[in-house]
Amino acid sequence: MTQAKIPQGAQDIYVPANHTLSRVLGWAGLGLLVVFLVWLVLELASRLKSPTFFILRIENGWVYALGGLLATIALLFGTAYLGKIVGERSRGRAVSYWAVLGDQLTHLIIWIIILAALYPLVFIIGTSLDPLNRLVQGSLGAATDPLLVRSRVLPPLEGSNFSNYAALFEGVVIYAWQWAMVGIAALGLFWLAVINLRSRAYTGTTPPPSLQLERRYTSIVLILVIVLFFAFLLPAQFTGNTTASRFLLWIRNTFLISGITGVLAVILTTTAGYAMARLRFPGRFQTLMFFIFIQMFPNIVALVAIFSIIKSLDLLNTFTGLILAYSGGAIAFGTWIYKGYVESLPASLEEAALVDGTTRWGAFTKIVLPLSGPMLVFIFLLQFIGTYAEFLLANVLLSGAGNWNVGVGLRSFGVGGGGTTAATVYGQFAAAAVLGAIPIVALFYSFQQFFVSGTVSGGVKE
């Protein structure tokens, strides 16, 4: 019961509010939602193709399921009780059993989430080692195989080999000095892992400057070696007859495109971001709002316009055209990031330089840029990783297996397995995906501190 609004001077009476319409609309909306969900389930069920989903019936399977559940519960309660005893002896005071059990449940949920996130990697790696392409079969194993294999929880490992990986390097000629570069890169990556393990020993304290300097020089050497290896990897070194044998060439193309795009992104966004942060000129606010406005639209909206512009410049099927398209898309977001970072720096540093007679450009290059090292690396890596496996623009602007990047090259395995006439070769596709992800994983692992520092930079202003 609610009190309705009564005109002034009228008799004070209580009129019950009519909620019939709101109730009808609520139930109608709920009914439409149920109808939509039922239609969606039926529509998806009609589109399922074998062997998308199946049930593997095991005799007395409920016994195994119930036994596993009870064993998990017993292990959880047992470890919680053990943790309670150890905690009381180490701390010298009473410890709540339910608090320890709650911590155990929290850790269990976290591990379940981690394993669920890493679970697809098990199938990708397992499929990359499967030469028989058994992923498309109704069952991944025979009746004598383990239960988890027959139920598709785990991929089969019987008969696994590296033939799918070997197919990606068929006919590739690697010179001796390039093998030396590969060895140096592997050694550098291993040493970076050792440095990171050594830095973990300084828990709660900052690692010594010598360790940080060692990490910096190792990272620089690793980058230079990788750049030299791929920069001098020529198309003439790929003599294989299949499209899949050009996989390393796709990696090389991707490194060239993403690397140059990252450098251009740093140049454009730093100059634009500094101008937006420190200079006051007509149209500054409107330009910033325009940058925000264009970020609301997906890339596919501008696809036709980009294609027309690149075609009018006669840059179709060239790395230059794709680099220009990527660089133009990086300006808006990178400018906002660097603008916030510059605004967090003390303006008094530049003012002192200007008083000493330097120009605005001198203050930017001699004061601001040296202080922006982590942010510059962050902008470069953000653009590099964002364009590494990009597919949409590359598929439209590039043609020919010799010019593909990793994203377009991976699609070729879905139309005959890299140049063959058979069905999709999931083994070679998975092998290419694993090898294609290694550079990004290594890059992120080597420079992960810049991602963290770059993300939070600019959060506090002077």
List pLDDT tens digits, range 32-77: 999 999 998 888 777 765 555 556 677 777 788 899 889 989 998 8
For 406, phi then psi, to 5°, come to: -65, -40
Q: What is the pLDDT of residue 450?
A: 64
State mean pLDDT over 283-300: 83
DSSP alpha helix (H) spans, 242-372: 247-278, 284-294, 303-312, 319-344, 347-355, 360-363, 369-371
- Where does the pLDDT of residue 1 fall: very low under 50, low under 70, confident under 90, or very high at 90 and above? very low
Q: Where along the chain do its domains lie? A: 1-47, 61-161, 174-456
How does DSSP assign 356-391, residue by residue?
Answer: TT--HHHHIIIIIHHHTHHHHHHHHHHHHHHHHT--
Place of tokens 């470890």: 79
Of 303, 360, 361, give the one whose Cα is nearest residue 328: 303
Of 399, 395, 393, 425, give the one whose Cα is nearest residue 244: 425
Q: Which residue has the higher pLDDT, 114 or 44?
A: 114
- Where does the pLDDT of residue 449 fall: very low under 50, low under 70, confident under 90, or very high at 90 and above? low
Of 441, 273, 446, 447, give the one whose Cα is nearest residue 374: 447
Q: What angle do CA 293, 298, 299 make, to 5 degrees?
A: 110
Q: What is the pLDDT of residue 15?
A: 52
Distance CA 181, CA 168 (A): 20
Q: What is the pLDDT of residue 394?
A: 92
Distance CA 116, CA 60 (A): 27
Secondary structure tally for the chain: helices H, strands E: 19, 0
**Tens-place pLDDT, residues 378-396:** 899 889 988 988 898 999 9
Amino acid, res. 152: R
Cis amide linkage into residue 146, ω under 30° from 0: no
Query: Is residue 121 scored above 60 in pLDDT?
Result: yes
What's the mean pLDDT when you consider all of the chain?
A: 82
**Tens-place pLDDT, residues 189-230:** 888 888 888 887 776 667 788 888 888 888 888 888 988 888
**Tens-place pLDDT, residues 124-181:** 898 899 888 777 665 556 677 777 777 777 887 788 899 999 999 999 999 999 999 9
Distance CA 393, CA 257 (A): 12
- Where does the pLDDT of residue 7 fall: very low under 50, low under 70, confident under 90, or very high at 90 and above? low
How does DSSP assign 390-454, residue by residue?
Answer: --HHHHHH--STTT--HHHHHHGGGTTTTT-SSS--HHHHHHHHHHHHHHHHHHHHHTHHHHHHH
5-14, 54-63, 221-230, 324-333, range with the lowest pLDDT:
5-14
Distance CA 236, CA 227 (A): 18
**Tens-place pLDDT, residues 230-269:** 888 888 899 888 888 899 999 999 999 999 999 999 999 9
Query: Is residue 460 scored above 80 in pLDDT?
Result: no
11-20, 236-245, 314-323, 379-388, range with the lowest pLDDT:
11-20
| Contacts of residue 272, Cβ cutoff 8 Å, sequence gap at least 6 | 331, 335, 338
Q: What is the pLDDT of residue 23?
A: 78
Query: Is residue 440 scored above 90 in pLDDT?
Result: no
23-32, 224-233, 449-458, range with the lowest pLDDT:
449-458
Query: Is residue 421 scored above 50 in pLDDT?
Result: no
Q: What is the pLDDT of residue 419?
A: 46
The SS3 assignment for 296 reads: coil
Count other C-beta atoms under 10 Å from residue 377's C-beta: 19
174-456: CATH superfamily: MetI-like (1.10.3720.10)
Query: Is residue 316 scored above 70 in pLDDT?
Result: yes
| The overall pTM is greater than 0.85 | no
Distance CA 59, CA 76 (A): 28
Of 333, 328, 335, give the one whose Cα is nearest residue 313: 328
How does DSSP assign 225-237, residue by residue?
Answer: HHHHHHHT--GGG
- Where does the pLDDT of residue 271 fall: very low under 50, low under 70, confident under 90, or very high at 90 and above? very high
Amino acid, res. 296: M
Q: Do the beta carbons of residue 246 and residue 402 sit within 8 Å?
A: yes
DSSP state, residue 141 = S
Distance CA 164, CA 244 (A): 10
